[in-house]
Amino acid sequence: MKPNTDLNESLMARARQVIPGGVNSPVRAFRAVGGTPRFVQRAQGQYFWDANGQRYIDYIGSWGPMILGHGHPAVLEAVQKAATEGFSFGAPTEREIELAEEILSLVPSMEMLRLVSSGTEAGMTAIRLARGATGRSRIIKFEGCYHGHADALLVKAGSGLATFGNPTSAGVPPEVVQHTMVLEYNNVAQLEEAFALHGKDIAGLIIEPIAGNMNFVRASVEFTRRCRELCTQHGALLIYDEVMTGCRVALGSAQSVYAKQIPGFEPDLTVMGKVIGGGMPLAAFGGKRSVMEQLAPLGPVYQAGTLSGNPVATACGLATLREIRKPGFFDDLSRKTHALVDGLKNAAAAEGLPFSADCEGGMFGFFLLPELPHNYTEVMKSDSGRFNLLFHGLLDRGVYIAPALYEAGFVSAAHTDEDIAATVAAAKEIFKELAPK
């Protein structure tokens, strides 16, 4: 039963007095779906509990990192041991080497990497490195892909291929994004035209291979192939943003999925975060030795960070990666994710509700559309009104999905078949209410 006083509401009122919007990251504010955010008191395994003591099946998992679930014993042990040895040193540790070696063994396109503290930091520096390594200024990104809140990447499409992007945030001067081109995701013809017009000036192309900030939109195989071919042809660097997909959609990340369909495929630079930190602030970017050696202190491209390679964060990440590479881990994770997605699709189909969904590994997404979208324009046609009703219906039944129509969801190893069945049953009740009359 709900308490007489909703502690989530009182906490939100208090938070608004000292934190802009009451939250430290905008999507947490529930602005898109309405209502009051849930203030998490604790989490364990596949669940978390809010300020009222209400338990939820958690399908955001800290937006992806908690692939093992919350409070995994091996991870807790590693973090507790590391914490007793020191929180931060500002000097090298052996564990940084161990984590780098572990990541490189999983993602062979990288020969060297640099550890940082956030995906934004990693993406921002990968762009700087691409420019420094090529001596060029222009960057291609795609509408609907999010690469962190660095100024040069907070940009929307311009009016045509001969022009460049426009800022999407106040405080970003137009001249800061004048070298950023924004193209339509999965549009091969537009991609080819962009390189034909500007190929000699393009330093790099940055892309989410599966766009989790459009919920879940895959880059087509042909589009991915042309990205690789055109970057190679024109001397630009292909930058794979695997902050969300890295070690989440497969042990070898999304690039390993595409390599099975495009022989020899690999990006020049890879940006990673989330899973490799296991829930701690940790990210990385890496690539071929010849490119990475352009970084200071070896080369002219500067990057630094006080907390980079933090000893507690590296312990958390290393313990997580050692767990997920155990035999059968991804087979089981994928099975559960497919069961969830198939269950939701079948439940929606039974009610005649327009619904499409997709998944890979432990990442999934769905749309209130009859077919899966291929780009941002198509994603925007999803039924936001019905989604809000679905979100709150699930929330009332103890199921927590992303409080935004355009965000992916995540299944963890801790989720059970019973959790999946309970989620599908809850959705089925709501689909009956949402079905076309």
Is 382 within 8 Å of 372 (Cβ atoms)? no
Q: In what order do the strands lie in the sheet with 47-50?
A: 40-44, 47-50, 55-58, 399-400
- Can you tell me the distance from the alpha carbon of 19 to that of 156, in angstroms, rounded to the nearest whole number? 27
Residues paired with 133 in a beta bridge: none
Q: Pick the catalytic residue: 274, 358, 376, 406?
A: 274
Is 323 within 8 Å of 297 (Cβ atoms)? no
241 part of the active site:
yes
274 part of the active site:
yes
Residue 285 φ/ψ, nearest 5 degrees? -140, 145
Is 363 within 8 Å of 212 (Cβ atoms)? yes
376 part of the active site:
no
Q: Pick the catalytic residue: 47, 58, 141, 241?
A: 241
Write the CB contacts of 49 (distance below 8 Å, at least 6 apart in sequence): 40, 41, 42, 43, 55, 56
Q: Pick the catalytic residue: 56, 146, 240, 376?
A: 146
- Do β-strands 112-116 and 283-287 pair in parallel, antiparallel, or remain unpaired? antiparallel
Cβ count within 10 A of residue 137: 12
- Can you tell me the distance from the alpha carbon of 175 to that of 68, in angstroms, rounded to the nearest whole number? 43
C-alpha dihedral (412, 418, 422, 424), degrees to nearest 10:
70
Residues annotated as part of the active site: 146, 241, 274
